[in-house]
Amino acid sequence: MKFTVQGAVETGEYRNVLLESGYTEQQITARLEETWSALFAGDDETRIYFPVNDDKGYILDTGNLDVRSEGMSYEMMMAVQMDKKEVFDRLWNYSKTYMQHTDGRYKDYFAWHCQPDGTRISQGPAPDGEEFFAMALFFASHRWGDGPKPYNYAEQARNILRACVHQGEDGNGDPMWDPATRLIKFVPESPFSDPSYHLPHFYELFARYADERDHSFWTEAAAASRQYLHQACHPVTGLSPEYANFDGTAAEPQPHGDYSHFFSDAYRVAANLALDWEWFRKDEWQIEQSNRIQNFFGDIQVSDYRRYTVDGKPFDEPALHPVGLLAANAMASLAADGPYSSHFVHLFWNTPLRRGERRYYDNCLYFFSLLALSGNYRIY
């Protein structure tokens, strides 16, 4: 397949890979609506969204029975993409009320997880939540317009990004991006990163929407992240570790585990790279990388997905989130032009949402892939 040299940010056009693969507009629209309804109003084995009182709602990590900044910000992005303002505002009200710090070293950051009643389990933040919160809020501002606090979406987003870049300049706290390398950290205090946190397509837009004084920072961060992913992804398998140093090498084992392998967090890298290609098309390496990851998994059954070393050796440990991994591999078809591109699209289409205890993470990646492959993961 021959790709145009311009991304959707310039053309305003988004590939509908599902339509290209033979599914009809009616089938695709129906699948989107059915999947949204299942996740947000389905049965107890499928839904992950739960409204609270008159103005709040949360996304439950069904494997850990907690509420995470990751999931809240993900679902806000899904809601703005689907034009579901009531759900978006409920999620934002919950996040703003219970998770966002109003003072101290984490001011304007979000506690990374809490109990469903809003009680914080940990005070510290996880930067993937902040970047998704900010991008979803900017899109909400552009799609629906700003209102009174806390619905002044664009200013809320700028406050978050201001903290991400400048926290600690007064000696209290740490920024979420390393000032020297322009790379996102795993947590503000850490000297390493997480490859799946790198969203250069978001940073390109932050360079337009954030505080003017930080526009150059975000442009540099986008370029730095693209180069970083060249280093973090294996040149043959395409696999990346869950945590990696600022030079792209796998991070040392942490007190809470060894994250130097290709496992749950790392699945998102393929999806992120593909969306960056769809939106901006600034790095043709992303085509090669998308082919590599699809080639690695092309002949492996989803039921046989496992933990892997980054050079491709399997562990005797099944993947915790096989449907999520499949969804990310399918989303790679936005960029891939290799022999498995069509295979993963059809395999994804024929795979249902995951049900049961571990469904939260799988189905978040599933819905993002469905949005992207249908041409509905858009810039607003």
Q: What is the pLDDT along the chain (380 residues), one digit of tens a residue?
A: 456 689 999 999 999 999 999 999 999 999 999 999 999 999 999 999 999 999 999 999 999 999 999 999 999 999 999 999 999 999 999 999 999 999 999 999 999 999 999 999 999 999 999 999 999 999 999 999 999 999 999 999 999 999 999 999 999 999 999 999 999 999 999 999 999 999 999 999 999 999 999 999 999 999 999 999 999 999 999 999 999 999 999 999 888 889 999 999 999 999 999 999 999 999 999 999 999 999 999 999 999 999 999 999 999 999 999 999 999 999 999 999 999 999 999 999 999 999 999 999 999 999 999 999 999 999 99
Question: What local confidence, expressed as pLDDT, does residue 255 receive?
Answer: 80
Question: What local confidence, expressed as pLDDT, does residue 164 receive?
Answer: 98
pLDDT, tens digit, for every residue of 359-372?
A: 999 999 999 999 99
Torsion, CA 262, CA 352, CA 51, CA 55, rounded to 10? 80
Q: Tell me the fold of 1-42+193-198+239-380.
A: Glycosyltransferase (1.50.10)
The tokens for 147 are 């209102």
Residue 163 to residue 354: CA distance in whole angstroms: 36
Contacts of 273 (CB under 8 A, 6+ apart): 229, 286, 289, 290, 332, 335
Question: What local confidence, expressed as pLDDT, does residue 62 receive?
Answer: 98
Answer whether 0.75 is exceeded by the pTM: yes
Residue 240 to residue 116: CA distance in whole angstroms: 32
Question: Cα 251–254–260 angle (5° rounding)?
Answer: 40
Residue 60 to residue 63: CA distance in whole angstroms: 9
Question: What local confidence, expressed as pLDDT, does residue 257 receive?
Answer: 87
CB 225, CB 184: distance < 8 Å: yes
Residue 122 to residue 281: CA distance in whole angstroms: 38
CB 222, CB 295: distance < 8 Å: no
Contacts of 75 (CB under 8 A, 6+ apart): 48, 49, 59, 87, 91, 364
Closest CA relative to residue 70, chosen from 80, 60, 79: 60
Question: What local confidence, expressed as pLDDT, does residue 221 receive?
Answer: 98
Closest CA relative to residue 100, chosen from 34, 156, 177: 156
Question: What local confidence, expressed as pLDDT, does residue 4 receive?
Answer: 64
Question: What local confidence, expressed as pLDDT, does residue 194 receive?
Answer: 98
The tokens for 81 are 């993409």
Greatest CA span in the chain, whole angstroms? 57
The domain spans of the chain are: 1-42+193-198+239-380
Residue 339 to residue 354: CA distance in whole angstroms: 27
* Active site positions, annotated: 70, 265
Question: What local confidence, expressed as pLDDT, does residue 3 receive?
Answer: 61
**3-state class (DSSP) for residue 99:** helix
Residue 270 to residue 332: CA distance in whole angstroms: 6
